[in-house]
C-alpha cells in the first residue's frame, strides 16, 4: 500500500491517483453505472494501491443511510443470559442481518427503564431501523418508534399500536389450543398451565389458546399460575399448582425452561412424568431434549421469524414508508417426545 500508516485515504486521493474526478470515482465505487471501462479500472487500481475504504460517517451523511440496524432487547440481564431463547435469537438475527449486508448494533435495556436514553440514540439516526424482541406491556416503544418514523419490526406482538409497526410472531393461540387438545386426548381431565409473565404478549396468547380449548372441551380452565420464564420460576409455579390442585394430571408450561423446573418439582414430589402428570412445554431450543423425560413441546420458529423480520425491515428501509406495516404469523410445530 502506498499510504503511510495511520492516516486514512479519502476519495479525493483515489480520484487524483486515478486521474478522474471525485464524481466519477464515487460512481465507480458504487456499481459503476455510467463509467467507462478505463475509468473503472483506474479507480479500482487506485483503491487497491491506497487501501481505500469509504468513510462511514461521510457516506451516511450523504446517503442518509447507516447500513446498520439495532436489535432492541428490553429484558433483564438474568433472563437474557439464562434463557436459550435470547441466545438463539441473537444467533439467527446476526446471521440474517449479515445476509443483507447490514451491521447489528445490540441495544440491551432494562424493561421500562432507559427508554428516554434509547430514543435519544435512535433519534440520532445511528441505525436505519430496529428489530424489537421481548416487548413488555409497560414499554412505550411501539408508540415512540411509530412517532419517530423509524422502520421497526417487532418479533412478538406489542400490546398497543399494533397497526403502526410491522410484527412477526408465532401462533401462541394455536399452540395453546393444541397443547390442551393433546393433553385432553391422552386422557387428562384436570388440566393446569404455567403461563408466561402477564405483561408479555407471547405468554398471554398461549394462555388464551389453552383456555379456549379447555373450556370448549367442557373442562374448567382455572388452574393457572404465572411464571417468569425461568426454571426456578417454573418449579415454584408448579409447586403452587400442585398445592392448590392436588388432582392435576396434565400441565402446559409456556416455556421449556419453566417445564424443566416443573419436571424437577414433580419428580421431587414423587409424581411420575408422564404417567401421573403429563407435561407439554414450548420452545424446543435444546432444553427440551435434556430433561428426564425429554419434553413434548412446540418448536418456536425463531429462525423463520428472524429471517422474515430482517427481510421486512430491509425492505422497509429501502422503499421508504410507503407500504403499510405488515403482520406475519408462523405456526409453532408440535414435537412429540416422552413427557406427554
Q: Which residues bind a second copy (CB under 8 A)?
A: 5-6, 8, 51, 53-58, 60-61, 66, 68, 77, 80-81, 84, 87-88, 90-91, 94, 103-106, 108, 120-121, 123-126, 147, 149, 321
CB-wise, 6 or 247, nearer to DNA?
6
- 40 three-state secondary structure: helix
Residue 63 or 215: the one with the smaller Cβ distance to DNA is: 63
Task: Give the shortest CB-184-to-a second copy separation in angstroms.
Answer: 36
Piece of the chain touching DNA by CB under 7 A; list 15-23, 70-78, 91-99, 321-329: 15-23
DSSP 265-325: HHHHTT--TTTTSEEE-SB-SSHHHHSSSPPBEEE--HHHHHHHHHHHHHHHHHH-TTSPP
Which x/- pattern over 58-77 shows residues binding DNA (rule: CB under 7 A)? Answer: xx-xxxx-------------
How many other β-carbons are positioned within 10 Å of the β-carbon of residue 247?
A: 9
Q: Does 54 bind DNA (CB under 7 A)?
A: yes
Q: What's the CA gap between 262 and 311, in Å, rounded?
A: 37
Q: What is the DSSP string of 214-259?
A: HHHTT-----EEE--SSHHHHHHHHHHHHHH-TT--EEEESSHHHH
Q: By C-alpha distance, which of 78, 131, 136 is closest to 107? A: 131
Report phi then psi at 249, rounded to 5: -130, 5
Contact range with DNA by CB under 7 A, out of 5-13, 137-145, 169-177, 328-336 = 5-13
Site membership for DNA, residue 3 (CB under 7 A): no
Comparing CB distances to DNA, the nearer of 30 and 110 is 30
Report the interface residues with DNA, using CB under 7 A: 8-12, 19-24, 26-27, 29-30, 34-36, 38-39, 52, 54-55, 58-59, 61-64
Amino acid at each position: 500500500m502506498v499510504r503511510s500508516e495511520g492516516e486514512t485515504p479519502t476519495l479525493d486521493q483515489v480520484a487524483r491517483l486515478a486521474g478522474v474526478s471525485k464524481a466519477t470515482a464515487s460512481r465507480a465505487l458504487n456499481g459503476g453505472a455510467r463509467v467507462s471501462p478505463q475509468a473503472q479500472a483506474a479507480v479500482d487500481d487506485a483503491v487497491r494501491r491506497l487501501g481505500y475504504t469509504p468513510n462511514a460517517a461521510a457516506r451516511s451523511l450523504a446517503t442518509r443511510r447507516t447500513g446498520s440496524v439495532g436489535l432492541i432487547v428490553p429484558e433483564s440481564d438474568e433472563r437474557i443470559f439464562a434463557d436459550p431463547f435470547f441466545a438463539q435469537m441473537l444467533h439467527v438475527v446476526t446471521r440474517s442481518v449479515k445476509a443483507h449486508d447490514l451491521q447489528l448494533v445490540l441495544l440491551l435495556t432494562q424493561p421500562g427503564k432507559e427508554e428516554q436514553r434509547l430514543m435519544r440514540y435512535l433519534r440520532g439516526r445511528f441505525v436505519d431501523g430496529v428489530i424489537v424482541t421481548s416487548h413488555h406491556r409497560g414499554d412505550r416503544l411501539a408508540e415512540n418508534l411509530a412517532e419517530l418514523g423509524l422502520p421497526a419490526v417487532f418479533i412478538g406482538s406489542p400490546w398497543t399500536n399494533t397497526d403502526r409497526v410491522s410484527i412477526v410472531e408465532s401462533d401462541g393461540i394455536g399452540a395453546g389450543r393444541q397443547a390442551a387438545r393433546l393433553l385432553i386426548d391422552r386422557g387428562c381431565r384436570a388440566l393446569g398451565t404455567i403461563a408466561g409473565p402477564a405483561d408479555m404478549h407471547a405468554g398471554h396468547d398461549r394462555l388464551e389458546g389453552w383456555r379456549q380449548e379447555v373450556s370448549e372441551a367442557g373442562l374448567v380452565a382455572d388452574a393457572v399460575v404465572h411464571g417468569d420464564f425461568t426454571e426456578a420460576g417454573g418449579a415454584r409455579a408448579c409447586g403452587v399448582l400442585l398445592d392448590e390442585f392436588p388432582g392435576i394430571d396434565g400441565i402446559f408450561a409456556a416455556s421449556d425452561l419453566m417445564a424443566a423446573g416443573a419436571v424437577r418439582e414433580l419428580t421431587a414430589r414423587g409424581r411420575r412424568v408422564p404417567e401421573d402428570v403429563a407435561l407439554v412445554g414450548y420452545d424446543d431450543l435444546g432444553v427440551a431434549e435434556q430433561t428426564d423425560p425429554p419434553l413434548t413441546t412446540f418448536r418456536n420458529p425463531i429462525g423463520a421469524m428472524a429471517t422474515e423480520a430482517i427481510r421486512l425491515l430491509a425492505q422497509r428501509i429501502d422503499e421508504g414508508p410507503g407500504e403499510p406495516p405488515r403482520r406475519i404469523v408462523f405456526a409453532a410445530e408440535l414435537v412429540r417426545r416422552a413427557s406427554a
